Structure 1
Amino acid sequence: MKQDLALMMALANESKGLFESAGIDVHYSGIGKVNAAFKAYEVIQKTGCKTLLNLGTAGSSHFDAHALVEVTQFVQRDMDVSPLGFAVGVTPLDDEYPAGIELVPYFDHLAQGICGTGDSFETGLPKVPCNLVDMEGYAIAKVCKKLGVRLISVKYITDGANDTAHLDWEENLLLGAQKLLSLYQSLKV
């Protein structure tokens, strides 16, 4: 599998240099949906990968801190066109993926969750049903779906998506990188 796989993370902070030290090529997108969409497209075009593996961090008031969670669906927690009569989270006039993007699970031993993506650092309850939050995943998923590339996404829960989230995120990055590296190394070759 690894020969047809490309690895993408949002920030070098999320890998803490551990992946590079292990000789693993990581593509970093930067923060947010626009950066993530552009980088996903670029990586798929340059590498010709059949699978894009997105590893990173997320907040959750549902899952325990330090858990690894495989995302089975991405939704947009910041898509709000409700003044025009659309439900929050629904993208108007998007016939393919108006409200969410489903992923086929890969890992049978990980918890599974619905990830709400938005261009904000969430510190409260999202407006759409989800049990973890990030800032890039939905955009990556949409690019992968449109290009016919499988996406596997696993998030390390760094914080409770609350008023101390920014402090917890930074404090838990090294342990997260270690757990994500171990998971990557467990992939079948």
Structure 2
Amino acid sequence: MISDLALIMALPNESKGLFEQAGIDVHYSGIGKVNAAFKAFEVIQKTGCKTLLNLGSAGSSHFDAHSLVEVMTFVQRDMDVSPLGFQVGVTPMDHDYPAEIALDVHFGHLAQGICGTGDSFEIGLPKVPCNLVDMEGYALAKVCKKLDVRLISVKYITDGANDTAHLEWEENLLLGAQKLLALYQKHFV
């Protein structure tokens, strides 16, 4: 059990109220990197947590739908300044923080992946190497890195990040919330 932990998810849709019903505090960031960065900073400042736990949904054409995947690395799939000679995924002039942010693995029994974060609902192949996609994780990782807070991130694969992803995402959220809650209760309560 981690006593100085705060839980962050993007949307109430991802918890389906199950965490609140179980008496677990959830901080919701909203969608996208800007919202995630702001909320992560706010939560860390307000709670003084040393570990931020991010649970949520992701798409993947690599991992099976309905599986839980622990993120071992976050990258930005929509940072593209390649016309100026920078590699896709690299933020120009940001020397202190790498394009890839590695996390310490917490769950040895889960599949591990590289998550590409971007401010778009991905339905194709990202421009950067990754095997799952989300819309908040890289921002959470960067804020945690800057503030010396550990980030643990587990994603429930809702869809194949393809042309039917928007339909599959919504219909798979309840099962995802149930699986994420079971993981939380087993390891953090």
Please tell me whether the aligned partners of residues 52 and 149 of structure 1 are also in contact (alpha carbons under 8 angstroms): yes
TM-score, normalised by the number of residues in structure 1: 0.98
Runs of 4 or more off by more than 2 Å in structure 1?
none
Tell me how far apart the structure 1 counterparts of residues 115 and 65 of structure 2 sit (CA, whole Å).
15
Tell me how far apart the structure 1 counterparts of residues 188 and 12 of structure 2 sit (CA, whole Å).
24
Residue in structure 2 matched with residue 182 of structure 1 by the alignment:
182
Tell me how far apart the structure 2 counterparts of residues 52 and 88 of structure 1 sit (CA, whole Å).
27
Query: Number of paired residues?
Result: 189
Tell me how far apart the structure 1 counterparts of residues 44 and 185 of structure 2 sit (CA, whole Å).
21
Residue in structure 2 matched with residue 79 of structure 1 by the alignment:
79
Residue 60 (str. 1) matches residue 60 (str. 2): yes
What's the CA shift for 1:188? 4.7
Within-5 A mapping of 1:114-153: 114-153=114-153
What's the CA shift for 1:96? 2.1
- Alpha-carbon deviations, 1:151-179, whole Å to 9, x = none? 00000000000000000000000000000
Tell me how far apart the structure 2 counterparts of residues 141 and 187 of structure 1 sit (CA, whole Å).
21
Q: Secondary structure at the match of 1:30?
A: coil
Within-5 A mapping of 1:34-113: 34-113=34-113
Task: Please tell me the root mean square deviation across aligned C-alpha atoms, in Å.
Answer: 0.8
- Alpha-carbon deviations, 1:6-35, whole Å to 9, x = none? 000000000000000000000000000000
Please tell me whether the aligned partners of residues 92 and 98 of structure 1 are also in contact (alpha carbons under 8 angstroms): no
AA aligned opposite 2:153: S
- Alpha-carbon deviations, 1:39-83, whole Å to 9, x = none? 000000000001000000000000000000000000000000001
Please tell me whether the aligned partners of residues 37 and 140 of structure 1 are also in contact (alpha carbons under 8 angstroms): yes
Q: Percent identity?
A: 85
AA aligned opposite 1:77: R
C-alpha change, 1:140 and 1:122, in structure 2 (3 Å) is same
Tell me how far apart the structure 1 counterparts of residues 188 and 139 of structure 2 sit (CA, whole Å).
26
